Chain A
Amino acid sequence: MRLALGAIWMMGCLAAVPLLAQSQGGGFQPEPWMGAAPTSTGPAVGEKIPSFRALDQNRRWQDFNSIRGPKGAVIMFNRSADW
């Protein structure tokens, strides 16, 4: 089955993502509210995302224009890269 070039690039980058997405150590005390389902999942399909600008891990400013590829972008929100 053929993969688009963009998919191959994403595959390489995303190989590291489970570490980020699954870093769930924490050492926190369980609280009842921790299991609450999302009250919002943000912009709907078809809606434009808000503009953003932030420092990356190398202290470089990034925004949507700097992180997007020719077909767009994958934007992930994670709880933490620490706990």
Chain B
Amino acid sequence: MVAITYDSAEILADFTKRRGITFPLLSDPKSEIIRAFRILNTSVPPGHMWYGVPYPGTYIVDQNGVVRSKYFESRYQERYSAPTILLREFGSAAGTRQTVVKTDHLELQYYSTRDAIRPSLRFTLVADFQLPPKMHVYAPGVKNYLPIRLELDPSSNFAAPPAEYPKSETLYLPVIDEKVPVYRGGFRITQDITMAGGNVLRPILDGSREMKITGKLLYQACDDKICYLPQDIPLEWTLKVEPLDTDRVPESIQH
């Protein structure tokens, strides 16, 4: 793993010392690597302190140097957090608090890929489901039944694109001669969150530094004999909110 910036090696050394970085940070002061990757931020006017910076992003490459996936944001302030990338690449993000909910129809474990978040950070809310044998819930796109749906209460503290649902399977119901999209066994729903900027989060940062994201899970479950009433499970994530890092290197080696 490596991080590349347009900083001098001195700046990177100072940052490494202050923050205990244990992986290589590469210095690209003339932005030659950044240009070779075609990600020079072309909106920055020459002469500005920012001139030479890349569009921030992350590549996952194989051992031959072929890009397998990449993560870029449309706004420079925003970043994919590492656990969200790990979740997408490896299917898991360990070490965060989980909440477990058990109903007559399913077991739900839900968590955030980060317990502590910062302004403009992108992270992921995860809901892992396990259904007992013969039980199913309806998937998005179903007609005449309630599909499973993760809904968040809106807030100015974050933006949330649509939740991501896994591919469903088709179940044939012989009694009514219907094919319906369902989930059975284990499956996962994820919801990305992009935090608002520091100005919006200022009241939280100046106060409790704690934020709750609330919402609900709606679903209708059926087994091989009966369809149960639609259910509504309240969800809540409690997150610690941290300020951005504003420490700088000594003035003598600054840009």
Contacts and interface: CB of A to CB of B under 8 A. Distances in A.
B: interface residue count bin: 35 or more
Interface of B: 1-7, 9, 11-13, 15-16, 19-28, 33-34, 36-39, 41-45, 48-50, 53-70, 72, 74-77, 79, 81-83, 85-86, 89-92, 94-95, 118-121, 128, 244-249, 254-255
Interface residues of A, number: 70
B55 to A, nearest CB: 4
Contacts of B246: 23-25
B200 to A, nearest CB: 14
A60 B235 CA distance: 49
B4 A54 contact: yes
A4 B11 CA distance: 33
Interface of A: 1-4, 6-8, 10-25, 28, 31, 33-52, 54-59, 62, 64, 67-83
Contact of A17 (B3, B11, B57, B61): B3
B237 to A, nearest CB: 18
A2 B92 CA distance: 8
A11 B37 contact: no
A78 B4 contact: yes
4 smallest CB-CB distances across A and B, nearest first, come from A25-B246, A14-B82, A36-B43, A57-B12
At the interface, is chain B mostly helix, strand, loop or mixed?
Answer: loop
A56 to B, nearest CB: 4
B63 A77 contact: no
Contact of A3 (B26, B90, B254): B90
A33 B39 CA distance: 16
A38 to B, nearest CB: 4
A16 B4 CA distance: 15
A6 B92 CA distance: 12
B245 A24 contact: yes
A72 B249 CA distance: 32
B25 A81 contact: yes
Contacts of B23: 13, 16
Contacts of A8: 94
Given A3-B90, A55-B27, A43 B1 contact: no
B157 to A, nearest CB: 17
B12 A81 contact: yes
Contacts of B82: 10-11, 14-15, 17-18
Contacts of A47: 66-67
Given A80-B6, A82-B11, A49 B244 contact: no
A13 B19 CA distance: 12
